[in-house]
Amino acid sequence: MKTAQEYKDSLRERKIRVYVMGELLESDKVIDHPFIRGHVNSAAMTYALAHNSECADLMTTTSHLTGHKINRFTHVHQSTDDLIKKIQMLRMISQKTGTCYQRCVGFDAMNATYGVTYEIDQAMGTDYHERFKKFLTYIQDNDLMVAGAMTDVKGDRSLRPSQQKDPDMFVHVVEKREDGVIIRGAKAHMTGMVNSHWMLIMPTMGMAENEGEYAISCAIPVDAPGVTHIFGRQTNDGRKFEGSIDQGNANYGIVGGECMTVLDDVFVPWDKVFMCGETKFSGLLVERFACYHRSNYGGCKGGVSDVVIGAAALWADYQGTGKASHIKDKLNEMIHMAETLYACSLAASCMGKATPSGAYFVDRLLANVGKHNVTKLIYDIDRLAQDIGGGIMATMPSEADLKNPEIGKWVEKYLQGVDGVPTEDRMRVGRLLENMTGGTALVESMHGAGSPQAQKVMYSKLSGLEEKKKFAAHIAGVGHSGKE
């Protein structure tokens, strides 16, 4: 298994094309850019903790393919215990970074692809599953970071992929060759892509029979010819060129360093193709991935909320309000909501079941309900944190002001809280709260793993409403459930 430093060193070996603010970066220096450095550090934590004996039970496991000890982020779940440990692991890492560490998307993509390729092979007589197992073994043996790539740019949302004026609005196969396929299109919101080794392409939705060219799943190195990454902006990202205080979370950044990845006629050899035209399985792959990924959020967002709660409590202590009853009430309410998020993710894992491939899959209904809780409760947690923080959290003078030889003495004096707490410490906690409870972080909580409407569609379909009608009809002593 790689160490954190070995992970960083391996990223410098890539010939990756990354644009930031219209500028093409030198490939071996991508990870040094102020916009990207923190995201690399947070992903590196997934490598560092795997070598920490206190974290080994959560961070590592045994490969069912090779019998070797591996990083859990390269594992295929073999039991409900694996699913539970995943959620526990995600919360633990979030508590240490306060942000996204980016390996979850690829982790979930690999688990989804493992199970679905098996089922395609059983139905169609293909050999996708064996191809994928070889690829997965390679990923495990080299402890590589894989970026999951599902979301297409979609163009006109009222039209299906085959109806778009520009067919490139959804990633598709433009040519099949004897040695592989050529694909074209773009993937959006690609978390951790610029500091990964490989990407795993998946269709973004269930495809119709006439949309076989869009039913493509394959693995591509992030620096393959024809691949260009355009790094996205984040709220207050200009502060990353300044000192550490105003960044809030200078070491690890905020959210996951998303980008748009352009695939301009990229060649993929057949041994890295895991679906090509099997339209009736495209929706299954999307659903498997979405449910795996949505089940994560109570773990990672529970851990991030732990940091927000801790920062709010520290801030209250620093300003002398920590013992006030209304502050304690707000903190308790935040704790209740964070544990509610965590509980739903654990429940989705506990209720998981084996798929035909032998890999374990979460409870779909609970996974979707849990993610939908995140789209609401995170906002309430952050609202209460901002309530505790007060207006100064958003209007505080800068680090440059604090260190200015002429006016710094006034910033030091007038931002002082309780005696004995340095003004700089108070400013650091305030900036952490500001950055964690606003802007990009909230957008990701809302739309990561699918917008709220996507979860509503899923849990409406999975809720068993007709069965619930029968329960009520039986108890009420009526002869029908009400369905015509």
Judge whether residue 449 has pLDDT over 60: no
Domain membership flag for residue 154: yes
- Whether residue 276 is found in the same domain as residue 290: no
Residue, of 137 and 448, whose pLDDT is higher: 137
Q: What is the pLDDT of residue 438?
A: 81
Q: What is the pLDDT of residue 144?
A: 98
Domain membership flag for residue 27: yes
- Whether residue 224 is found in the same domain as residue 351: no
- Whether residue 105 is found in the same domain as residue 172: yes
- Whether residue 279 is found in the same domain as residue 290: no
Judge whether residue 408 has pLDDT over 70: yes
Catalytic residue among 61, 104, 229, 276: 104
CATH of the domain at 313: 1.20.140.10
Distance CA 120, CA 281 (A): 7
Lowest mean pLDDT among 133-147, 164-178, 216-230, 245-259: 245-259
Residue, of 228 and 473, whose pLDDT is higher: 228
Distance CA 220, CA 273 (A): 9
Mean pLDDT of the chain: 92
- Whether residue 236 is found in the same domain as residue 354: no
Q: How confident is the model at residue 482 (pLDDT cuts 50, 70, 90)?
A: low
Is 104 a catalytic site residue? yes
Domain membership flag for residue 469: no
Mean per-residue pLDDT for 105-125?
98
Domain membership flag for residue 364: yes
Catalytic residue among 258, 278, 399, 434: 258
Is 344 a catalytic site residue? no
Q: What is the pLDDT of residue 484?
A: 47
Q: For residues 55 and 49, is the Cβ–Cβ distance under 8 A?
A: yes
- Whether residue 259 is found in the same domain as residue 304: no
- Structure tokens belonging to residue 348: 């989705």
Catalytic residue among 300, 342, 344, 372: 300
Q: What is the pLDDT of residue 481?
A: 52
Q: What is the DSSP string of 165-202?
A: SSGGGS-EEEEE-SSEEEEEEEE-S-TTGGG-SEEEE-
Mean per-residue pLDDT for 280-307?
94
Judge whether residue 473 has pLDDT over 70: no
Identify the H or E element spanning 269.
Answer: strand 259-269
Is 293 a catalytic site residue? yes
Identify the H or E element spanning 464.
Answer: none
Domain membership flag for residue 477: no
For the chain, the distance separating the N- and C-terminal CA atoms, rounded to the nearest angstrom, is 59
- Whether residue 211 is found in the same domain as residue 349: no
Q: How many domains does the chain have?
A: 2
Judge whether residue 442 has pLDDT over 60: no
Q: What is the pLDDT of residue 255?
A: 80
Q: What is the pLDDT of residue 464?
A: 73
Judge whether residue 209 has pLDDT over 80: yes
Encode pLDDT of 370-379 as tens digits: 988 998 999 9
Domain membership flag for residue 480: no
Residue, of 270 and 462, whose pLDDT is higher: 270
Q: CB neighbours (10 Å) of residue 213?
A: 23
Instruction: Output DSSP code: residue 284.
Output: H
Encode pLDDT of 313-345 as tens digits: 999 999 999 999 999 999 999 999 999 999 999
Domain membership flag for residue 9: yes
Q: What is the pTM of this model?
A: 0.91
- Whether residue 229 is found in the same domain as residue 308: no
Encode pLDDT of 383-392 as tens digits: 999 999 988 8
CATH of the domain at 199: 2.40.110.10
Is 300 a catalytic site residue? yes
Is 399 a catalytic site residue? no
Q: What is the pLDDT of residue 467?
A: 73
Is 191 a catalytic site residue? yes
Judge whether residue 63 has pLDDT over 50: yes
For residue 148, the enclosing domain spans 4-283
Amino acid symbol at 174: V
- Whether residue 13 is found in the same domain as residue 148: yes
Q: What is the pLDDT of residue 477?
A: 74
Is 447 a catalytic site residue? no
Mean per-residue pLDDT for 361-377?
92
Catalytic residue among 39, 75, 293, 372: 293
- Whether residue 237 is found in the same domain as residue 250: yes
Q: What is the pLDDT of residue 235?
A: 84
Mean per-residue pLDDT for 177-187?
98
Domain membership flag for residue 278: yes
- Whether residue 211 is found in the same domain as residue 329: no
Catalytic residue among 292, 297, 318, 360: 297
Distance CA 186, CA 182 (A): 13
Is 172 a catalytic site residue? no
Q: What is the pLDDT of residue 393?
A: 86
Q: What is the pLDDT of residue 305?
A: 92
Catalytic residue among 119, 287, 399, 444: 444
